[in-house]
Amino acid sequence: MRHGFFYAFVILLLTSPLFYSFASVSIYDLQPSVLEVIDRFNTPDILGELTIITDPEQLPAEGKSSKEVWTGPYFPVNNNGTAVAMKKYDIATNNGGRAYNWESENNRRIGNVSWAGHCNGLAAAAINERGPKHSVNYHGVTFSVDDIKALLVEAYQNSTGVSRLVGLRCNSDSSATDSYGRNNDPSCRDLNPASFHLIITNYLGIHGMPVIIDENMGLPVWNYAIKKYSYSYKILDARGAATALGADRYIFNRDAKYFLKVHMTLQSASGKSFKYDYILEGSEQQQIVGGEWLGKSKSEHPDFIWRQNQMNTENPYLNIEVIKEIASYAQ
């Protein structure tokens, strides 16, 4: 779907009293403390699977995954995590209780973290594997649908070295902000909304490839597999964009030559929706080059966005090939 907004914006710009100061760039008050760019931690190229299209005319206003994206329990560690499935796995494979013991010890070690669980493994498994449809009897042991999901979750639980993450992980609970309402900690202020927009519209919109977000920009991590999105937009001039951000002039990106005010809605595999508002900044070459979160989204936006397409178990006593075999019988 092509928006045609750039041509409408040219008319708006030429009839705006801001045109001459806007074109001369004197509208920008270049202060390093407020200037933000798509830096090396926020570039969509980190994901590495696609050539990212940055021309907004080519980015669909809606899209969805071309494959099944399922959901299930996130197996919180303060509720035994995946211990039930690990016990069954050990019995079925004559594993001597080792997978269960490792999971139980891991749960004990981090069980005081109230939000800790397996949401990253769940999200990664959900975008890569077919969801189990029925229970399976394997070597005399019955694995329920949730047991098989637990095995798949564990098969993806270790993201080290196999995932690609855009945006810094926020390790702070601080809510201190600058004069524009943006978190003072750069790792909590990002993900840059332009990077977010480009990944959503390229991966889900153009290619039907689901992505994962940590929807909490604070210390806790809540990963969700995203299967669908839609957005609407409004064209703004520089003054309108500045006003939306609580500034007298647009001081946030020297390369910005036109602006879109975007309302984005994401839908996760669990059915939960997330809504975000932000400014997209466009260059003279009609490419998206940056953005700023708006309103509530300044403090409630994704911390990072990522993908993982390889199994990599955290539990050293699990055999991935066995997990694949059990899961294949559940189709």
If asked whether residues 174 and 119 sit together in one domain, one would say no
Using omega within 30 degrees of 0 as the cis cutoff, is the peptide bond preceding 191 cis?
A: yes
Alpha-carbon distance of 146 to 80, in angstroms, equals 14
Task: For residue range 91-126, list pLDDT tens digits in order.
Answer: 999 999 999 999 999 988 887 888 999 999 999 999
* Confidence (pTM): 0.88
Alpha-carbon distance of 132 to 122, in angstroms, equals 13
Task: For residue range 139-153, list pLDDT tens digits in order.
Answer: 999 999 999 999 999
SS3 (DSSP) at 214: strand
If asked whether residues 315 and 304 sit together in one domain, one would say no
Sign of CA dihedral 40, 41, 42, 46: positive
Q: Give the count of domains, the chain.
A: 2
If asked whether residues 205 and 293 sit together in one domain, one would say yes
| 221: Cα within 13 Å, side-chain hemisphere | 21
- Residue-range definition of the domain harbouring residue 214: 5-68+165-308
Alpha-carbon distance of 207 to 212, in angstroms, equals 15
**Nearest partner of 72 among 169, 154, 156, 145, judged by Cα:** 145
What are the two backbone dihedrals, phi and then psi, of residue 136, each rounded to the nearest 5 degrees? -135, 135
If asked whether residues 91 and 212 sit together in one domain, one would say no
Task: For residue range 198-208, list pLDDT tens digits in order.
Answer: 999 999 999 99
Q: What per-residue confidence (pLDDT) applies to 161? A: 83
Assigned token pair, 245 = 């951000």
Task: For residue range 254-297, list pLDDT tens digits in order.
Answer: 889 999 999 999 999 999 999 999 999 999 998 999 999 999 99
Assigned token pair, 124 = 């990664």
SS3 (DSSP) at 266: strand
pLDDT at 3 over 60: no
If asked whether residues 190 and 275 sit together in one domain, one would say yes
pLDDT band at 323 (very low <50, low <70, confident <90, very high): very high
With beta carbons less than 8 A apart as the criterion, state whether 66 and 15 touch: no
* DSSP secondary structure string for all residues of 11-53: HHHHTSTTHHHHHTTTT----TTT-----TTT-GGGG-SSPPP
pLDDT band at 51 (very low <50, low <70, confident <90, very high): very high
If asked whether residues 251 and 187 sit together in one domain, one would say yes
Assigned token pair, 62 = 């809606």
If asked whether residues 223 and 88 sit together in one domain, one would say no
If asked whether residues 192 and 146 sit together in one domain, one would say no
Assigned token pair, 182 = 């943006």
If asked whether residues 94 and 149 sit together in one domain, one would say yes
Q: What per-residue confidence (pLDDT) applies to 19? A: 27
If asked whether residues 277 and 186 sit together in one domain, one would say yes
Q: Give the Cβ contact number of residue 317 at 10 Å.
A: 18
If asked whether residues 37 and 144 sit together in one domain, one would say no
* Average per-residue pLDDT for the chain: 88
Q: What per-residue confidence (pLDDT) applies to 218? A: 86
If asked whether residues 171 and 51 sit together in one domain, one would say yes
Q: What per-residue confidence (pLDDT) applies to 35? A: 58
Assigned token pair, 155 = 């098969």
Bridge partner list, 307: 164
Mean pLDDT of 222-230: 98
Alpha-carbon distance of 166 to 164, in angstroms, equals 7
pLDDT at 182 over 60: yes
Task: For residue range 158-175, list pLDDT tens digits in order.
Answer: 988 889 999 999 888 777
Alpha-carbon distance of 37 to 169, in angstroms, equals 18
Mean pLDDT of 12-16: 33
Task: For residue range 79-95, list pLDDT tens digits in order.
Answer: 999 999 999 999 999 99
Q: What per-residue confidence (pLDDT) applies to 149? A: 98
Q: What per-residue confidence (pLDDT) applies to 315? A: 97
